[in-house]
């Protein structure tokens, strides 16, 4: 008797929660005697005897590693072990509830009870046998852990056309219909490439180019003209005959030299004076 009481006290402590033994709902038994019958055991207890003298003896707490969810069950069930694949314990097992498992990061539970895990698939792929596979050609998936779906076969609006085919991550791309250029069918399912954008030939662009050219010409021609004018002025200042003679001296043109000169007597008295010396007596020069 004492052994049973000690066991009932130790088991709840080992399970990490308090479990009270006995019958929770009972009623007197029909007939002679003081017997009672248990209608429902307390949570975590299994039914040992349906009827007896005391309601406390009719139910018993489940053993460690087992649980029961129905107050009328006579057998406790074994707790689930979260050891299959990348699983871990979310809530431990108790006498009245089973273990709650969960999957590690990058995986999802394979069923409602999370009895196994499957790989979490991203965009551009779909689940396949607890793993992931890329979306086949002509299908796409833009959601997390979702099956691939077929590309759309046409654009949603009548004035649109397909300008790019779909990928594994997205559906087809539609754009406005070009009235000037006919839409050609895609060779081998490949969309036609969009023509390169034409250059901007607007009047404002041409005006800006003209103004820039004018500034460039003015910036080159004006300095050149100034340099030519300054150079001409310097040449005029340094021309021959423009320099003035120093004071007290006048420049006279040199006499034209000749190979034959007349006697100096014929040039007047000034020549004679130059031939007479102040210190010598007067002599007639022949």
Instruction: Read off the pLDDT of each residue in 166-172 and give the average, rounded to a whole number.
Output: 94
Please give the Cα distance from 36 to 44 (Å, whole number): 21
What pLDDT does residue 177 have?
A: 78
Q: Which helix (H) or strand (E) holds 178?
A: none
Q: What CATH topology corresponds to 125-178?
A: Tumor Necrosis Factor Receptor, subunit A; domain 2 (2.10.50)
Can you list the positions of beta strands (E) in the chain? 23-28, 36-41, 45-47, 51-52, 59-61, 66-67, 77-78, 87-91, 100-103, 107-109, 117-119, 125-128, 131-134, 139-140, 149-150, 160-164, 173-176
On whether the pTM is more than 0.75, the answer is: no
pLDDT tens digits for 105-164? 999 998 888 988 999 999 999 999 889 999 999 999 999 999 999 999 999 998 899 999
Please give the Cα distance from 164 to 155 (Å, whole number): 11
Same fold, 9-109 and 125-178: yes
Which pairing describes strands 117-119 and 100-103: parallel, antiparallel, or unpaired? unpaired
Q: Which residues pair with 204 in a beta bridge?
A: none
Q: What CATH topology corresponds to 9-109?
A: Tumor Necrosis Factor Receptor, subunit A; domain 2 (2.10.50)
Please give the DSSP secondary-structure letter assigned to residue 97: B
What pLDDT does residue 125 have?
A: 95
The answer to whether residue 93 scores a pLDDT higher than 60 is: yes
- Inter-residue contact 148 to 140 (CB < 8 Å): yes
What pLDDT does residue 201 have?
A: 53
Q: List Cβ neighbours of 95 (8 Å cut-off, separation of 6 or more).
A: 11, 12, 15, 17, 19, 43, 44, 45, 61, 62, 66, 67, 68, 76
Mean pLDDT, the chain, rounded, equals 74
What pLDDT does residue 4 have?
A: 39
Considering the chain, what percentage of its residues have pLDDT values greater than 70?
65
Instruction: Please state the domain extents for the chain.
Output: 9-109, 125-178
């Amino acid at each position: 008797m004492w052994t049973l009481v000690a066991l009932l006290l130790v088991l709840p402590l080992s399970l990490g929660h308090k479990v009270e033994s006995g019958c929770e709902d009972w009623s007197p038994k029909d007939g002679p005697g003081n017997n009672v019958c248990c209608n429902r055991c307390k949570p975590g207890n299994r039914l040992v005897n349906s009827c007896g003298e005391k309601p406390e003896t009719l139910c018993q707490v489940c053993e460690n590693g087992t649980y029961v969810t129905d107050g009328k069950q006579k057998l406790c069930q074994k707790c689930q072990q979260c050891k299959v694949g990348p699983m871990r314990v979310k809530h431990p097992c108790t006498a009245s509830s089973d273990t709650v498992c969960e999957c590690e990061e990058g995986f999802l539970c394979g069923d409602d009870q999370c009895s196994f895990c499957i790989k979490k698939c991203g965009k551009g792929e779909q689940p396949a046998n607890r793993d992931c596979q890329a979306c086949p050609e002509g299908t796409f998936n833009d959601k997390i852990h979702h099956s691939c779906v077929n590309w759309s076969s046409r654009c949603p609006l009548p004035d649109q056309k397909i300008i790019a085919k779909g990928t594994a991550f997205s559906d087809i791309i539609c754009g406005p219909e070009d009235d000037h250029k006919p839409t050609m069918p895609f060779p081998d399912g490949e969309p036609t490439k969009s023509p390169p954008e034409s250059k901007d030939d607007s009047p404002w662009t041409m005006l800006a180019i003209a103004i820039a050219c004018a500034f460039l010409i003015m910036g080159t021609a004006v300095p050149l003209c100034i340099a030519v004018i300054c150079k001409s002025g310097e040449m005029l200042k340094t021309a021959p005959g423009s320099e003035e003679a120093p004071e007290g001296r006048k420049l006279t043109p040199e006499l034209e030299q000749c190979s034959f000169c007349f006697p100096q007597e014929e040039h007047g008295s000034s020549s004679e004076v130059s031939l007479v010396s102040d210190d010598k007596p007067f002599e007639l020069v022949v």
